């Protein structure tokens, strides 16, 4: 791991911390009816964060930055203050997709501004419930705090030009974490064109998880990604997905494995496929 604080927390560990006033629990479920589902039932004490409203600045044209570009520093600072998060706070984030919904994205964003005490709940919402963490449908009352200083993304980012240069360079590797059918151009549920960036390799984020929906051990993940990277350095590695959200699941996996966090291409396929770039599709096969 690139800091001394594990990026993952186990459900049993969270249960032991449930009465602690020192943790800030965040529900980062995303998708249709996510906020409504949070209101119906969430882990007791959890505060809701919205992917589109809080963790991105969704523009009208995804060709400029993709479907989920990062918010401004001012906006993100305001979100953190509203959620009651201070630089010293211990933040624990969960979703219902083992971190792949928006929990890992929020983890990356916090780490990128220098926040160290942030973890994603391994196994997500259902694992916590199974472990005995109480749920609630009550409105959570909490106080906002003073402005959180946000001035830079300190973790590496890659833009579309950097991906263009890297995709056919043997000293770089571009990893696409979407499922194989999307990578192969067989289906595309979200973007206009099905396919992938030529030169990219497909490592579906689902491979980060075991059959029970928990991350593999750090040792297994280290062996896996060390083999994938080979002689390519992590800082010469670019990870992307559809819109810079689920890619963070793999960045977390690599951090958990003790591998320095690679570059994130926020625009991802949603930006690349809307620009005049080479694309692998079933038509160009």
Alpha-carbon gap, residue 103 to 27, rounded angstroms = 8
The token pair at 136 is 């609630």
Max CA separation in the chain (angstroms): 57
Choose among 46, 33, 42: nearest CA to 137.
42
Verify whether residue 248 is a known catalytic residue.
Answer: no
Judge contact between 127 and 240, C-beta under 8 A.
no
Judge contact between 175 and 228, C-beta under 8 A.
yes
Instruction: Exactly one of 92, 118, 241, 253 is catalytic; name it.
Output: 241
Alpha-carbon gap, residue 196 to 183, rounded angstroms = 5
Judge contact between 96 and 124, C-beta under 8 A.
yes
Ramachandran assignment for 9, one of left (phi > 0), alpha (psi -120 to 50 degrees), beta (any other): beta
Cα→Cα distances 31→34, 51, 103, 240, 247, Å:
6, 8, 13, 19, 16
- Residues in CB range of 217: below 8 A, 6 or more apart: none
What residues are annotated to the active site? Answer: 241
């Amino acid at each position: 791991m690139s800091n001394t604080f594990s990026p993952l927390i186990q459900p049993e560990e969270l249960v032991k911390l449930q009465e602690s006033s020192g943790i800030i629990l965040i529900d980062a479920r995303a998708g249709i009816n996510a906020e409504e589902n949070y209101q119906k039932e969430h882990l007791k004490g959890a505060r809701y964060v919205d992917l589109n409203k809080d963790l991105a600045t969704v523009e009208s044209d995804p060709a400029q930055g993709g479907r989920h570009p990062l918010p401004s520093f001012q906006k993100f600072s305001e979100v953190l203050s509203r959620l009651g998060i201070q630089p010293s706070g211990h933040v624990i984030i969960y979703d219902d997709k083992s971190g792949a919904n928006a929990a890992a994205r929020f983890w990356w964003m916090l780490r990128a501004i220098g926040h160290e005490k942030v973890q994603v709940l391994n196994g997500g919402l259902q694992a916590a419930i199974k472990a005995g963490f109480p749920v609630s449908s009550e409105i959570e009352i909490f106080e906002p705090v003073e402005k959180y200083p946000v001035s830079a993304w300190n973790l590496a980012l890659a833009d579309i030009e950097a991906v263009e240069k890297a995709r056919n360079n043997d000293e770089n590797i571009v990893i696409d974490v979407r499922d194989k059918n999307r990578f192969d151009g067989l289906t595309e549920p979200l973007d206009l064109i099905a396919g992938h960036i030529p030169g990219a390799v497909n490592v579906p984020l689902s491979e980060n998880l075991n059959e029970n929906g928990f991350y593999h051990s750090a040792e297994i993940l280290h062996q896996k990604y060390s083999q994938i990277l080979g002689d390519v350095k992590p800082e010469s590695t670019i990870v992307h997905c559809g819109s810079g959200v689920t890619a963070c699941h793999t960045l977390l996996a690599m951090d958990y494995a003790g591998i320095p966090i690679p570059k994130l291409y926020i625009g991802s396929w949603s930006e690349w496929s809307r620009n005049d770039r080479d694309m692998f599709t079933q038509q160009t096969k």
